Every structure is written in C-alpha cells, then in structure tokens.
Copies of this chain bind each other. A is one copy, B any other.
Amino acid sequence: MVKMDVNLGGLRMPTPVATASGTFGYGTEYVGLVDYAKLGAVTAKGIRLDPWPGNPMPRHAEVVGGLVNAIGLQGTGVEAFLSKTLPAYRTVSKVPLIANIWGGSVEEYAAVAARLGDRVEAIEMNVSCPNVKAGGHTFGQDPNVLFEVVAAVRKATARPLLVKLAPNVPSIVPYVKACEDAGADALSLINTIPAMVIDIERRVPVLANRTGGLSGRGVHPVAVKLVYDAHRATKLPILAMGGVYEAKDAIELLLAGATAVAVGTATFTDPGVVAAVHDGIVAYCERHGFASVSDLTGNLQG
C-alpha cells in the first residue's frame, strides 16, 4: 500500500493527481467519465468578480503535440459560482476544490478571494491575465507586481494559496521569491506558453484573439525544467502541470520537485488519463520501493 495523500501547502489531497484549471470546467462536466476516486483535487475554471464573456470564436487551434487556446477566461462571476456552480459540484464530488481566480486589478483579486471565504479548499491565482490598471501587462510578468497582488490576496484569505506562474520567463527564480515573500503556500507550474497559429490560405490568425496559449504534450519538457528550477529555489510545494498524458510524465514532474501534478489538455482526448496517471504512480512507487508518493518529490540521484 503506497501512501498517496499529499499536503500541498495546507491543502490535503487524497492523491497527488489534480485537474488543471480551464480543462475541467467547474468540476461537474466529466462526472461518469473521469474516476473521481483517483483525484486529489479539482481545479475549477477561472473566475473573477463579475461574469466574463471570454474571446470571440474561434478559440482554439490544434497543433501537432498540443493545443493553442484563447478561451479568454469566459466564466461565471464569483456570486454565481458560490450560489450555483459550487453547490452543484458538492452534490457530485467529495474531492477538494481549488478555485482559480483572476482579476483586472489587485483589488479585484483580493475581493474575489475574500468573497470565496472558506467555501473552497484552496485558491489558485492565475496571474497570466492583463493588469488593466497597469496598462495591460500581465500581473505575473514583473516580480514586483506579482508580489503586490499575491500579498493582497494573502491578506484576503486564510485558505491555502497557490500562485500559478507563467513559463515564458528568463528565470523562474525571482517570481518564486516574490510568491514566497508575499506569503503564498504553494506554486502552480506551468500555465500555457504564448503561441500563435496562422491560416496561410486565408492569411489570418486562426484564433479570433490572434494569439493564444500552447498546452499539451509538447510543453512537457518545458514544464519539467521550470519545476526543477523552482524546486531548487524554494521550499514551497509545487503543483505541476504541462503535458501530462501518462504516468511517466507525472513522475518526471514529481522527481523534478513537484508535490502533486495536474492533468489538463490530455483529458480532452482521453478522460481516462487521470486514472491511468494515478494507477501508474502507484505501480511505480511499488516497483521502486517507495512507501509514499511524497518520497518522489525532488528525488533525483546525484
């Protein structure tokens, strides 16, 4: 019997396998298709204070080895989330829920977190969205801005606080430090990589938003590198995601330094990935004589 539960900065996960925000709706959509008994946490789709319509269509383009999306954070506002979406989730699942939040200003982030109170098991901040007040740069782009927004949310919530970082940085270390200094409990790595697909026959970007974010199989080696770098720079636990399609991918991320992993894009093609990843981790631990999955975290030789 491998001990599969992990502690992700105060969030008790029964297994180290979560779903990634934006790829699992609000947690009810895959009921009957995904084995919830194998899940350690569900991360809900991003919400802000008010409902948000998202981008025009088309919102996605398939590329070899992945997906480029510009959904544009369509989502229910926090009130509808608390009154409808969340209760609906609780009726179908006992799995801890991580709310993924975003906003156009530091104040909005804090307000959403405060409003959620203790109704969710943890809060994940998506800082890869434009800071409306600061001229459109994303919050996650500048370590100082990142510190500010994380510190504000930290004050607004007592729940375990995860910060989800963007992969397109020269070094992840200053961002990790900013999160640490601002009182985050854990890191989520990685968000999608900025990308673009052009329809050469019509000579237009395929996505209505022109650019989007790359996820899926192809980003996996990039995720492993960033988790490795982040883990060496901090004691904060890491929820790792990016191209997890099979147990091997998840185990790489754990060995690189993650405490838990999330499955995202892979579920679209195969809802069975969550269970296969879970079972594959158990089998790996048994085969290699690890009593607990947390023994894998950062456990590289030499």
Q: Which positions in A face B, CB cutoff 8 Å?
A: 63-66, 68, 137-138, 140-142, 166-171, 193-198, 200, 202-205, 210-211, 214, 217-222, 224-226, 228, 248, 251-252, 255-256, 284, 299-302
Contact of A301 among B66, B193, B202, B211 (CB under 8 A): B202
In the complex the two chains form, is A200's CB within 8 Å of B251's CB? yes
Q: What CA separation (Å) do A195 and B226 show in the bound complex?
A: 8
In the complex the two chains form, is A248's CB within 8 Å of B170's CB? no
The A interface is mostly helix, strand or loop, or mixed, namely mixed
Instruction: Find the B residue at minimum CB distance from A218.
Output: B218
Pairs A-B, 7 closest by C-beta atoms: A218-B218, A65-B65, A195-B221, A196-B225, A141-B170, A196-B224, A198-B252
Contact of A221 among B197, B200, B256, B299 (CB under 8 A): B197
Q: What CA separation (Å) do A39 and B252 show in the bound complex?
A: 40
Instruction: Find the B residue at minimum CB distance from A211.
Output: B225
What's the minimum C-beta distance from A148 to chain B, rounded to whole angstroms?
A: 16
Residues from chain B with a CB closer than 8 A to the CB of A168 are: 167-170
Residues from chain B with a CB closer than 8 A to the CB of A193 are: 193, 222
Given known A65-B217, A217-B64, A251-B200, contact A195–B224 (CB-CB < 8 A): yes
Q: What CA separation (Å) do A141 and B63 show in the bound complex?
A: 28
Q: What CA separation (Å) do A65 and B217 show in the bound complex?
A: 8
